[in-house]
Structure 1
Amino acid sequence: MTHAEPDPLPLGRRLWHQTWPMAIGVLALLGFQLVDSAFIARLGTAPLAAQSFTFPLSFLIIGIQVGLGIAIAALVSRALGAGETARVRRLGSLVLLVGTATIALLAVALWGWQAPIFTRLGADAAGRELIRDYWGPQLLAAWLGAVLYFGYSLFRAHGNTRLPGSLMVATSLINLVLDPLLIFGVGAWPGLGLPGAAWATVLAFTSGLVVLGWRLAGTDWLAVSGLGREVRVSLRPFAGIAGPAMVSQLMPPLAALLAISVVARLGEPQVAAWGLASRLETLSLMVVLALTMSLPPWLGRCYGAGDWEQVHRLMRLALGVVVVWQLALGGVMAAMAPWVALMLSGTPEVQGELAVLIRFLLPSYAALGVCMLVVSAGNALGWPLRAMLMSGARLFVFYLPCLWLGAWLGGLTGLAMGAALGNLLAGITAWQVLRRILASPRRCPAKTA
């Protein structure tokens, strides 16, 4: 009996039902992060630039948690597709334990090494002082967010995208309400300034964890026995997926570190504009990010059941959705760039630089989305090494060289044009790689026991 696709709905509707809760959740989650930066922009250019310097390290934490989440979602969904329910429970417990401990150790290390890291990135003494007050609660928020993400991964692997999507919306709304209160204060309360944004996120994620823990307690998805044996059995396949997946996910933070060091040479307003553009990038990619969350568990179940025809159909549909959506959104945002920049920043010098970034970068995210979807699918379908190489090529063969060359030739405008060209080249290459892989059945990995 095939466990992969019991739902009788047409493929497009099933993909929609799996993706829309995550899309709304991602929109809410990334929306509050953008609003975070918009509130901080009202504090001045220096606090916004200080927050922007922390983005690459925040992306580093997210990269590791996503790499672990990809591996566990792939193994759990394959086990579900093969009908191995007892193993599914053991894997669920392991991801919560190992993931929570791993991110905690990383957060402690980043706190201890903050001075040399931010100095190397180009932050001056005044900027590092602002960062220090913000970085402690931000690391705590990042750890709480990682624990939430691991819980979301379990629900997604079991085909439940509604609870993660709903909790993303709820925690985002809580953060949105708390942000102005903790940043600017209310009444006699003077507010915390930049650290207030991080404390708002801490409180929002804590409330989400309470609900998530309550819902997990009502399932039979976790086990307390047999974990040692499962570690021995699953260590190799887990490492085979998690290793390349984490390398793939760690490449963007590394690229972001290199990119911010290039932007820092252009000046503080450019760093502030780049930080806002980074927040806007993740928000504009909400559909792509939602698909990278909802599609891999589905592909993994097809993998476990050996249903490669469904894999082809799913990928064609998902890629079509990504290209059409991102081109339409990118065109509209590029046309509205001056007004979007005006809403996000209260500083004229930052507004002008941000408008330039929006015009060139937003339309290029159609190609970037194709590459992201191909990498995500590769991890779910047993091609983690190809996915890792594709992710590396996107950043270090296409994106960073084009970005650096553009900045050298034309300042911020050249940088924006170079980054857009890098995204375009990466998307075309990813599409060609996927076509070659799926066109040859002999290259498709065999079903595992």
Structure 2
Amino acid sequence: MTDDEQTGLSRRIWQQTWPMTLGVLSLLGFNLVDSVFVARLGTEPLAAQSFTFPLVFLTIGIQVGMGIAIAALISRAIGAGQEERAGRLGVLVLTGGGAVMAALALLLWAVQDPAFALLGASDRLREVIRPFWTVQLCASWVGAMAYFGYSLFRAHGNTRFPGTMMMVTSLVNLVLDPILIFGLGPVPALGLEGAAWASLAAFSLGGLITALALRGRGWLERDDVLREVRESAGPFAAIAGPAMVSQLMPPLAAMLATGLVARLGESAVAAWGLTSRLESFSIVLVLGMTMALPPWLGRCYGGGRWQEVERVMATAARMVVFWQLGLGLVLAVLAAPLAGLLVEDGAVRDHLTVLIRFLPPSYGLLGVCMLVVSASNALGWPVRAMTISFLRLFACYLPLLSLGAWLGGLTGLAIGAALGNTLAGAMAWLGYRRALAGTR
């Protein structure tokens, strides 16, 4: 590929990615803002919120797994010229996805006490979590429905609308957070629970606007939906099953990691929760690519354009490595002032400084691993994607994190996690190259 072709491809990738990058940035930004505002309430509310992150990631994992499967099937149908089938699949993602996410929300509400006790939350913290968790689960369901709507736009090659809606919901949450958490005028201070109400209001607005935007586009086809269920059940399960398992493994690993960190005290848990939010914020380019590129790759798969797949992936991987390595080094240098900006408590600030110094520089190869997993689902390799996710978390990340914590406490834990991310990225890229060679 010539330099001009490389530049042109990089520009196309960026054009597809930047709307989703800005959208994810704003969405994750309001999650980080949630934690910053909650941190002003004290260490106990922040620790309570941090204990909910693994289960929140669980709900997100299932909704993303379903979205991956449907987006892959829709983009492949479009690539093969099957527009009516793409419309029927659009109806299925909204109805079936909503039912599954509602059942999950009810289950997580019913098992909250034993779940949070298993994570290490004390009786007092579980009392703090309970009212917040009820509203947060409602917000998660509404957010999932909005996400399924965004997935339809992405599958049809439109990344600007979902990116814009993510920014809108972020701004609404940003405005409502301080009002509902601390109170303003006639609005009472709701404390930690106010953060969940702000999220619910923001996601509700996003879902309403998305529903109105879908009207009249012809992307939803109700005729022969039952026949489509029968025909697509097998292909859907072949993608969604491994994709869901892949998406469920990170929250499971997060629960195990949180339980390990809990042995180091509530201040360590609070710092770990903030680091998790900061991690998502700092890999926003990767997250944007994992949302924007799979529909493109799926259309290539439907049309048999494997050389284009190879060029797109190579260019995207280079972009990820260079960007994340540079950003990671900047964050490592600014770790102390950044931690001081995010939290006031001295112990939490010291822990957060250590975590920021070691983890962000490893996000370059972590991003490559995430890109390979996302692409594998779009390219008809769901089992490979699941295998890579498993090896990343349970053969690289958690063992090295645990070993580091045993040898060096929180500092050792941070170093072990960074080494795990690096090893996982190298392993994932080698696996992708072997799979791609098999298509020739």
Output the TM-score relative to the length of structure 1.
0.96
Shift of residue 12, structure 1, vs aligned partner: 2.0
Residues 324-363 of structure 1 mapped to structure 2, 5 A cutoff: 324-363=322-361
Shift of residue 188, structure 1, vs aligned partner: 5.0
Residues 109-148 of structure 1 mapped to structure 2, 5 A cutoff: 109-148=107-146
Distance 2:346 2:257 in 1: 23
Equivalent of 2:429, from 420, 431, 435?
Answer: 431
Equivalent of 2:277, from 276, 279, 283?
Answer: 279
Residues 386-397 of structure 1 mapped to structure 2, 5 A cutoff: 386-397=384-395
Residues 87-114 of structure 1: per-residue CA shift (max 9 Å, x gap): 0100000000000110000000000000
Residue number in structure 2 paired with 1:4: none
* 1:54 pairs with 2:52: yes
Distance 2:24 2:55 in 1: 20
Residue number in structure 2 paired with 1:446: none
Equivalent of 2:9, from 11, 27, 34?
Answer: 11
SS of alignment partner, residue 369 of structure 2: helix
Residue number in structure 1 paired with 2:65: 67
Residues 53-98 of structure 1: per-residue CA shift (max 9 Å, x gap): 0000000000000000000010000000000011010000000000
Shift of residue 11, structure 1, vs aligned partner: 2.0
Shift of residue 133, structure 1, vs aligned partner: 1.4
Shift of residue 346, structure 1, vs aligned partner: 1.3
Residue number in structure 2 paired with 1:385: 383
Which amino acid letter does the alignment assign opposite residue 376 of structure 1? S
Equivalent of 2:252, from 254, 257, 261?
Answer: 254
Residue number in structure 1 paired with 2:185: 187
Residue number in structure 2 paired with 1:445: none
Distance 2:65 2:186 in 1: 44
Kept in 1, the 8 Å contact 2:45–2:192? The answer is yes
* 1:95 pairs with 2:103: no
SS of alignment partner, residue 222 of structure 1: coil
Residue number in structure 2 paired with 1:177: 175
Equivalent of 1:34, from 14, 32, 35?
Answer: 32
Shift of residue 403, structure 1, vs aligned partner: 0.7
Shift of residue 227, structure 1, vs aligned partner: 0.7
Give every structure 1 segment of 4 or more consecutive aligned residues whose post-TM-superposition deviation is greater than 4 Å: none
SS of alignment partner, residue 416 of structure 2: helix
Q: Which sections of structure 1, spanning at least 5 residues, go unmatched?
A: 1-8, 443-449
Distance 1:175 1:346 in 2: 23
In the comparison of the two structures, how many residue pairs are matched? 434
Distance 1:281 1:296 in 2: 22
Distance 2:8 2:409 in 1: 49
Shift of residue 218, structure 1, vs aligned partner: 2.6
Distance 1:426 1:142 in 2: 29
Distance 2:418 2:335 in 1: 16
Which amino acid letter does the alignment assign opposite residue 83 of structure 1? G
Output the TM-score relative to the length of structure 2.
0.98
Distance 2:46 2:74 in 1: 40
Distance 2:11 2:279 in 1: 27
Residues 226-284 of structure 1: per-residue CA shift (max 9 Å, x gap): 11100010000010000000000000000001000000010000000000000000011
Which amino acid letter does the alignment assign opposite residue 152 of structure 1? Y
Residue number in structure 1 paired with 2:313: 315
Distance 1:173 1:41 in 2: 20
Residues 309-340 of structure 1: per-residue CA shift (max 9 Å, x gap): 10000000110010011001100000000111
313-322 vs 9-18, greater mean Cα deviation: 9-18
Shift of residue 438, structure 1, vs aligned partner: 1.8
Which amino acid letter does the alignment assign opposite residue 413 of structure 2? L
Which amino acid letter does the alignment assign opposite residue 48 of structure 1? L
Distance 2:152 2:17 in 1: 16
Distance 1:32 1:119 in 2: 27
Distance 1:40 1:199 in 2: 13
Shift of residue 10, structure 1, vs aligned partner: 3.1
Shift of residue 348, structure 1, vs aligned partner: 1.1
Shift of residue 189, structure 1, vs aligned partner: 3.7
Shift of residue 439, structure 1, vs aligned partner: 2.7
Which amino acid letter does the alignment assign opposite residue 323 of structure 1? V
Distance 1:434 1:190 in 2: 53
Kept in 1, the 8 Å contact 2:93–2:148? The answer is yes
Residue number in structure 2 paired with 1:232: 230
SS of alignment partner, residue 157 of structure 2: coil
Distance 1:421 1:16 in 2: 29
Residue number in structure 1 paired with 2:158: 160
Q: Which sections of structure 2, spanning at least 5 residues, go unmatched?
A: 1-6
Which amino acid letter does the alignment assign opposite residue 411 of structure 1? G
Residue number in structure 1 paired with 2:3: none
SS of alignment partner, residue 160 of structure 1: coil
Residues 401-421 of structure 1: per-residue CA shift (max 9 Å, x gap): 111111111111111011001
* 1:201 pairs with 2:199: yes
Residue number in structure 2 paired with 1:302: 300
Residue number in structure 1 paired with 2:218: 220
Residue number in structure 2 paired with 1:399: 397
* 1:421 pairs with 2:411: no
Residue number in structure 2 paired with 1:76: 74
Shift of residue 305, structure 1, vs aligned partner: 0.4
* 1:290 pairs with 2:288: yes
